[in-house]
Amino acid sequence: MSEETHDAAIRGPVAIRAAILVSGVVGWMLTVTFCFCMSDYEAIMATPTGLPVAQIFFNAGGRTGGTIMWFFVMLVQFFTGCSAMLANARMAWAFSRDAAFPFSGFWSKVNRYTHTPVNAVWLVVAFCSCLDLIGIGSTLTITAIFNITAPALDISYIAVIIAHRWYEGQVQFHPGPYTMGKWSKPVNAIAVTWVIFISVVLFFPTAKPVKASNMNYAICVAGFIGLFSTVWWYAGARKTYVGPRTTDTIDMLPPEDPEEIFSDYDTP
């Protein structure tokens, strides 16, 4: 998405930090509110609706109030799905453009009428639909797939940090206008440590004693994804993938003149 963002070097990091800050504050407030509204934890977890949060809404507002509150939850989920579809389709198109996907030539095509990657969008729609169909036959399998989403997303964040720190002595790197300076390495270390810790925790089973019926099989899904990606890379992707194949012209700004760099972005 940063490839299509104006002043991405500034707005990208600002958007990420703002999203984390707002989500953290609002999420904490929402969690505290839910805790105060839970009258009987066991009853809520055993709700016949199968949705503990929905039961909290119904307990607090009755059938009418709970339904209205649940409508807003559905609305948020709809917009979340739209944003996720946008990001996934854009990522699928970018990987196809860079020849990192099977049949990249087809998925990377841009519709000449809409000027959008329609093929990549339908690829994401079809793939997600197939995943949802798994839930019809096996709740355990679809739960494992859903459980991998959080750690997979977090690991994708630190993968960039680890790669940057691993190759910083081999590749010339010019810090952009938005940098943390001397705090970069400590913050990177904290981020990597936290993500590794929380990812391990998210792979733990959620109930005791652990049985085949309540085991968290997300680690199996993660292993399959890692194995498939590794095999695909060595089978041919490493020969065709050379990085982003954009036609944009990148202006190399002199790192020794920070005042000139910041003046281009109207920052104080």
- Residue 160 has which token pair? 């960039």
Q: Distance (Å, rounded) from C-alpha 62 to C-alpha 55?
A: 10
Q: For 208, left (φ over 0), alpha (ψ -120 to 50), or beta?
A: beta
Whole-prediction pTM: 0.72
**Domain edges within the chain:** 138-245+258-268
pLDDT at 26: 93
| In the predicted structure, residue 265 carries a pLDDT above the cut 70 | no
pLDDT at 267: 45
pLDDT tens, position by position, 71-86: 999 999 899 888 888 8
pLDDT at 256: 47
CA angle 168, 172, 173 (to 5 degrees): 75
SS (H, E, C) the chain: CHHHCCCHHHHHHHHHHHHHHHHHHHHHHHHHHHHHHCCCHHHHHCCCCCCHHHHHHHHHHHHHHHHHHHHHHHHHHHHHHHHHHHHHHHHHHHHHHCCCCCCHHHHCCCCCCCCCCHHHHHHHHHHHHHHHHHHHHCHHHHHHHHHCHHHHHHHHHHHHHHHHHHHCCCCCCCCCCCCCHHHHHHHHHHHHHHHHHHHHHHCCCCCCCCCCCCCCCHHHHHHHHHHHHHHHHHHHHHHHCCCCCCCCCCCCCCCCCHHHHHHCCCCC
pLDDT at 196: 92
Q: Distance (Å, rounded) from C-alpha 200 to C-alpha 165?
A: 22
CA angle 42, 44, 49 (to 5 degrees): 130
| In the predicted structure, residue 122 carries a pLDDT above the cut 60 | yes
**Once rounded to an integer, what is the mean pLDDT over residues 202-211?**
84
Determine which of 113-122, 150-159, 187-196, 249-258 has the lowest per-residue pLDDT on average. Answer: 249-258
- Average model confidence (pLDDT) across the chain: 83
**Once rounded to an integer, what is the mean pLDDT over residues 27-52?**
86
Backbone angles phi, psi at 103, to 5 degrees: 55, 45
Greater confidence, 119 or 212?
Answer: 119
CB within 8 Å of 250: residues ≥ 6 apart: none
Cα–Cα nearest to 218, from 150, 267, 118, 168: 150
